[in-house]
Chain A
Amino acid sequence: MRAGSRPKPANFARRAACAASYALAALALDAASVSAQSVGLPAPRLLTTMPMGGKAGTEVEVRITGEHLEEAGELSFSDPRLTATAKTGMDGKPVPNVFVVKIAADCPPGIYEARVMTRLGISSTRIFSVGTLDEVVETKPNATVADALEMKIGSVANGVIADRSVDHLKFQAKKGQKLVIDCAAKGIDSKLTPTLILADEKGRDLVVDRSAGFLAFDVPADGTYLVKIHDLTFKGGVAIFYRLALQESKPGETVARQPGTAAVNAFSWPPQGLAAKSVLAEADPEDPAGKPQKVTLPLDVSGRFFPAADVDEYEFEAKKGEVWWVEVASDRLGRPTDASVLVQKVTKAKGGDGKEIETRTDVVELADVPSPVKVSSNGYAYDGPVYDAGTADPMGKIEIKEDGTYRLRITDLFGGTRRDPDNVYRLIVRKASPDFALVGWAIHMELRNGDRNALSKPLALRGGSTMALEVVAFRRDGFDGPIELALEGLPEGVTATGLKIAAGQSRGMVLVTAKEDAPRGFARAKFVGRAEIAGEKVERAGRLASVSWPIPDSWGEIPNPRLVADVPVSVSGFDKSTITVAPVTQKIEAKAGEKLTVPLKITRRSEFSGASFPVKAIGAGFERVPGFEIPLNADKAEAVVDLKALNLPPGDHLLSFIGGAVAKYRHRPDLVTAAEAEVKKAKDELAAASAEAKTTAEAAKVASLETMSQANMAAAAAVQRENRAKEALPKAEAALKQATDAAQPRDIADIVVVEPIAIHIQPAEKK
């Protein structure tokens, strides 16, 4: 199958094709050894909470669903003002997957990350919103006008839409009220692309919105109105949920939209130290092509791409030799815009008729900032990260070649016909202020397979495993120095090693390793980058990104990556990695120019497909080390590093290897042992009960008149016990079968990262 070509629709055909044509680019798997069917070991994922938020100062009962949430324990949030306790049932026992969430009165409105600690560690995250309005929760289907869920103006409805269905919400309104309806969907991790319809009492459409998740409505007469809400393509199911806020907009007030998550590229905004609000505002925001606004540099101005085909111009004087840096934010503010900046020099001269003639000469045109690393294409194969660290916002420099008047023109290349006053921008023109911003994500295997489940990957470590975060730097105003990476504040038994972003480069890694015997634990870590800029040491907090949903089939769905508010790291304490590859010695002393042999120790805890798997070197300076095979039938291996060929300077270096192998993964074999014990116990009990029944029956037969009654009772009780034991045995056997089936080996391809090796290179002896 050609990369990117569409596979046959039938799953078996696709799987067969994939199995036959596995091809790893970065983590190339040996084609012959692979027959994998899925990608990534099981990971705990919190997928839904119902409701999806609550009002500050209240307690909310929340039901969760997800994948691999076995033994779900604590539900925790990215802010301590949100706390949860397991709900206690009538029987005094905790109700599985139901929690009571307490939202402190001082918890600010906003979005928070919710996660649950499971047997496998901390789950992936789901947004939990906190607001100030009353909340309504859908409890039964509301797919018809008659079944509409009632809500009041000034409240939020939490709902889930069924497949090929339209949810109906009903409210009373008075003539003259200005209502705004705001539907949070993608911003709270829903897969809903909302269509909002304001309808009359009978359900007849009055106003429709399908692109903004937002409707404004002036109530024409007192009465009952409906909001109908459905997915643009009428998708439904647990992932199609929403929080719909219905509010009145009072004169002179702007009703803020509900908060939502930020796209990955927002990590690079704002620059360090930028004031929350700009100093200057666009002079005439209503004029599509107004007169140039006279400004002086430096500049920090806010404006709008409004009305349609808006052109804003800023005129300034500049002197020869000056260099100014321009940065725009609009896309990164979450607006669907594509800003473009053109700087022109303006010269005026008197024409023959004495009239002034103005000529403009292009100085520089600034457009998109491309992603520093190649982003995955939209084909079937996974050929790069889905996280786009680039932006449609322009950035670049203006070099002034001569004194004079200049104009900076800013337009929205997407704005020809759109009239949305919310399409704002912020334009900065500054002297060089070199800096950087960082974003990282759990790395995914590059391979020809549509299974993207593992893109939604919490930092939930198994004992003895190493996970890799890919880190990308957004460099500002010419900064090109090296950036050291670190992850700090980790749970016990976990260490992290930053493979730095080399000078002039954009990509580095952080390797997070849990010791084999690391205890079960969870901590919110700090992800930072450190560099020296203009002689000063600076530290910048990095952001983490993740994909909101596991995607079993890339043909059917487009991943939705977003920034995550925190950096949680956990250790299962139960599950161990299928394989650990570690250096025999953590630190190696070497001499410049020597050929180094690095002995590796291999610990396997699972069967694997194939006899070996390929790895390639990572770590600044080691990229050119030839890839090699790590055996899957031996407990040691050797990596050979030719320091001379690499021409590495003396000093401390970090080396690791990354590759992919296909484990014959068995899910919870411990449950099989336990279930076997249960079966044995049930059998023993049955045997004992049968024997007792027999004995007591015999005894009853020969009992005297005085003891007859007692003997009969004993015999009856024994029969009952025998019957219970007879019922219990098939149940235990079914549980055993279930556990045995689940524990059947399944081929799962996953990343294997070698624990990092510190190499200290001493200068070569001078001869």
Chain B
Amino acid sequence: MPRQDTHPRLTPRRSMHASIVLLFASISLAIGTSKARANEPRVSFVNDVVPIITKAGCNAGPCHAKAGGGQKGFQLSLLGFEPGEDYEFLMIDGRGRRLSLTRPEASLLLAKAAGKVPHGGGVRLAESSDGYRTLQAWIAQGAEFDGATAPALAKLELTPQKATLKPGESVAIKAIAHYADGSRRDVTGRALFESNDSAMAEVTGEGGVKVSDIPGRVSVMVRYQGKVAVFAAAVPMGAKVENLPPEKNFVDKAVFGNLKELGIPPSPVSDDATFLRRSALDIAGRLPTEEESRAFLADKSPDKRDRWIDTLLASTDYADFFAAKWTAVLKNRRDDASDLLSNFAFHAWVRDSLLANKPYDQFVRELLAATGTVVGNPPVAWYKRVKEPKNQIEDVAQLFLGVRMQCAQCHHHPFERWSQDDYYSLAAFFSQVGRKPSATRGEDLIFHKRGQATATNIKTGAALKPAALGDKMPEITPDEDPRLKLADWMKSPENPFFARALVNRYWKHFFGRGLIEPEDDIRDSNPPSNPELLAALEKHFVASGFDLKDLVRTIARSSAYQLSAIPNAHNLGDRQNYSRYYPRRLGAEVMLDAIDVLAGTRTEFANLPPGTRAVALPDNSYNVSSPFLRVFGRPEGESVCECERVQSSSLAQSLHLINAGDIRGKLAAPTGRAETLAKSDKPAEEKIREIYMVAFSREPKPDEMAAAKAYLSEKRTTAAGQPIDPQRAARENFQDIVWALINSKEFLFNH
């Protein structure tokens, strides 16, 4: 039985089983050989059969690779990552009915795949297909397992690897497999093709790619037998790019360089009022105050925008706003009343860290390697909510490295290089987290438990030492907390993930779209839309000592960030090259605060001082009492993904803004703006200017002023035609104007 030792993936549990399989294989080989189809090329199980099954989708997650038995008792390894197991499944399981060596076409495998017998998955391989014929030939040749002898796939190569295409143009990509023995083979027909943006490019057939008329960059991921290659297409618009805004820093150089290459002319830099409002909303999560707006608009100095950014960054509003962003993805959830203290402490720790501009690497280190009590060391609270090492590494990888490791817990990551060993080696960093009960129910003290850190690969049973995404770690002694070593590895300037994940996340915060999308799915097969820019941001961030405020400052000072949202003749279709500002609806908390500011009211929140703003709320518990926050998609802190925050619009949101009780209450508040203005004896024009300045940071336009004045002086009567008391009429008129502004796009969107 020489083959027994050659399949490295056979688990001890399966070894007996495997012996039987291999015995069968030997017998079948004998039968096959006796039939001696000498002229026919040998079909390889590993390099032919498995790719065909994969291409046909048989071993996709929802089909026969479904965890816990596949479909109808027929199990396959996901995407063919375990050919040895697949062979067992085909040959032994199902009482050998799946393969008939004497009558290959009667094999259940072929009969089901071709739809000759009822098959829940439909016809996967037509009888006339190359794939069908190849499988048939393999069975006829004796259904041999060639795991030991088949040349290993070394590389997948695409030709072409990149192309510049005209809108609407198509291209045919060839996929070439390179094997360890030096052989090559065209596998275009058996490889899987997938576009990263189906609006920009679609895969039309075997290797065919057609781009749409949206300018920009798009890629097609090609997978074959665990290897991934990427075809990158640039679709230039070809318009003339001139009169570029001034290059303020390296961000502009990279953004405008890309736009020139693609021939997309950017919109001009926005006016002061737009910049003021946009930057306040993006950096501090609030509207500029009326005084700030007037002062900024009146300021004639050339550096006023830079100074304004610094003012925002120095404010507690910046810390509150970004703390809201971070605490949601760090799962600061209230599941029990006793979570109150730890949630407040954790939120405050994040907020204070941002206020003090704690270097990002230090912030992550304190979180990763937290020990002690929640009050003494609040990041310990993270360990209260994320209890299992596997959840810890999955969250850490996705949040701080932009890598999704979840798949690799049970099988090799389908699009990535991550294996189960990588997964459990990462988990090993968290294997020495000790817990002691505290006086608070559900809350543990966290300490470093002395001992050799290892985690067990559930498949191989191997006890793995800590290793970070393929990087070997220096020896970690039992006395050392492995989490500190993980933090050391993260902040190393050579780390390809840590800085990249953060700058990409922050870029998305300011531009609405990450350079890599989704922002927490960084992989070779998901290339950035502007690699030069991403690399430059990364380098800058590392060189700055992981300075978050500096990163925000660098981004916000760039002309690219300050571009107008109004499209020009060419860039309306651009969604990924930042040729203009992409308007976004205000987030739930920011919007609620903005409405309160405009209405001159405040929202009360439990356990917090009156006047606390919604962006400063420490956890998700306030969503329960605030229908507004729920409707507008404030996250519940259930996921590390920022996508949990709902940024889309809905009918419920519109109805809420138009007529919900809380909005009506704010408009009619006795100390609110409408009431105050109605009582004030200032001239009407001044009052209208105030409302516009608060809502939009600008003066009303002449037509807006005229319309508002006309509305205010309209005669109002009851349904019965009786004139309404002038004080009441004034109050209601102002309420109407405030209401109208709240419901305007200019108010609801950051633009």
A residues near B (Cβ < 8 Å) are 4, 6, 164-166, 193, 195, 204-205, 207-208, 210-211, 230, 232-234, 309, 311, 336, 338, 340, 342, 365, 377-379, 409, 411, 413-418, 555-556, 558-559
Contact = CB atoms under 8 A, between A and B. Distances in A.
Nearest to B340: A233
A234 B607 CA distance: 6
Interface of B: 315-316, 336-338, 340-341, 344-345, 348-349, 352, 355-356, 365-366, 369-373, 375-378, 434, 437-441, 445, 447-450, 479-481, 483-484, 607-610
A479 B437 CA distance: 29
A210 B371 contact: no
Given A166-B609, A232-B345, A409-B479, A205 B355 contact: yes
16 contacts: A6-B336, A164-B607, A166-B609, A210-B345, A232-B345, A233-B607, A234-B607, A309-B481, A338-B372, A342-B450, A409-B479, A413-B434, A413-B447, A413-B449, A416-B483, A417-B366
A204 B315 contact: yes
Nearest to B365: A417
Contacts of B608: 164, 234
Given A211-B376, A234-B609, 20 more contacts: A6-B336, A164-B610, A193-B375, A208-B355, A210-B349, A210-B352, A232-B344, A232-B345, A233-B344, A309-B481, A311-B479, A338-B447, A340-B450, A378-B439, A413-B448, A414-B371, A414-B372, A415-B371, A416-B481, A417-B371
B430 to A, nearest CB: 13
A184 B201 CA distance: 65
A164 to B, nearest CB: 5
Nearest to B352: A208
A378 B348 contact: no
A651 B91 CA distance: 84
A379 B378 CA distance: 23
B439 A558 contact: yes
Contacts of B352: 208, 210
A378 B438 contact: yes
Nearest to B380: A414
Contacts of B447: 338, 413-414
Nearest to A162: B609
Given A234-B608, A414-B372, A210 B445 contact: no
Nearest to B609: A164
Nearest to A193: B375
A69 to B, nearest CB: 29
Given A233-B344, A342-B479, A555-B337, A414 B377 contact: yes
Contacts of B434: 413
A207 B319 CA distance: 12
Nearest to A362: B478
Nearest to B369: A416
A211 B375 contact: yes
Contact of B377 (A4, A309, A377, A418): A418
Contacts of B315: 204
A210 B374 CA distance: 11
Contacts of A336: 372-373, 376-377
Contacts of B375: 193, 211, 232
Given A232-B375, A336-B372, A378 B450 contact: no
Contacts of B440: 378, 558
A720 B721 CA distance: 63
Main secondary structure of the interface of A (DSSP, over half): loop
Residue from the set B341, B356, B372, B449 with the largest chain A CB neighbour count within 10 Å = B372
A305 to B, nearest CB: 11
A394 to B, nearest CB: 12
Nearest to A415: B371
A415 B481 CA distance: 10
Contacts of B345: 210-211, 232
Nearest to B618: A233
A147 to B, nearest CB: 14
A570 B607 CA distance: 41
B621 to A, nearest CB: 12
Given A164-B610, A414-B447, A309 B484 contact: yes
B372 A233 contact: no
Residue from the set B337, B378, B439, B607 with the largest chain A CB neighbour count within 10 Å = B439
A166 B611 CA distance: 12
A190 to B, nearest CB: 14
The 10 closest A-B pairs by CB, nearest first: A413-B447, A414-B372, A416-B369, A378-B441, A336-B376, A414-B371, A558-B439, A208-B352, A417-B366, A416-B481
Contact of A232 (B341, B371, B609): B341
B441 A165 contact: no
B478 to A, nearest CB: 9
A311 B479 CA distance: 9
B450 A417 contact: no
Contact of B479 (A195, A378, A411, A556): A411
Contacts of A4: 441
Nearest to A199: B316
B550 to A, nearest CB: 19
A365 B450 contact: yes
Residue from the set A207, A210, A230 with the largest chain B CB neighbour count within 10 Å = A210
B125 to A, nearest CB: 56
Nearest to A340: B450
A207 B448 CA distance: 30
B438 A417 contact: no
A350 B44 CA distance: 56
Contacts of B448: 413, 416
Contacts of B366: 417
Given A205-B316, A210-B349, A411-B479, A416 B609 contact: no
Nearest to A560: B439
A205 B314 CA distance: 10
Contact of A211 (B377, B439, B445, B610): B377
Contacts of A309: 480-481, 484
A195 B441 CA distance: 23
Contacts of A555: 337-338
Contacts of B479: 311, 342, 409, 411
A378 B438 CA distance: 8
Given A211-B377, A232-B348, A379 B441 contact: yes
A233 B345 CA distance: 8
Contacts of A559: 439
B341 A233 contact: yes
Contacts of B349: 210
Nearest to B368: A417
A705 to B, nearest CB: 68
Contacts of B355: 205, 208
B149 to A, nearest CB: 42
A393 to B, nearest CB: 14
A417 B369 contact: yes
Nearest to A9: B337
A555 B441 CA distance: 9
A741 B484 CA distance: 64
Nearest to A559: B439
A308 to B, nearest CB: 8
A416 B484 contact: yes
A166 B371 CA distance: 29
B445 A378 contact: no
A193 B341 contact: yes
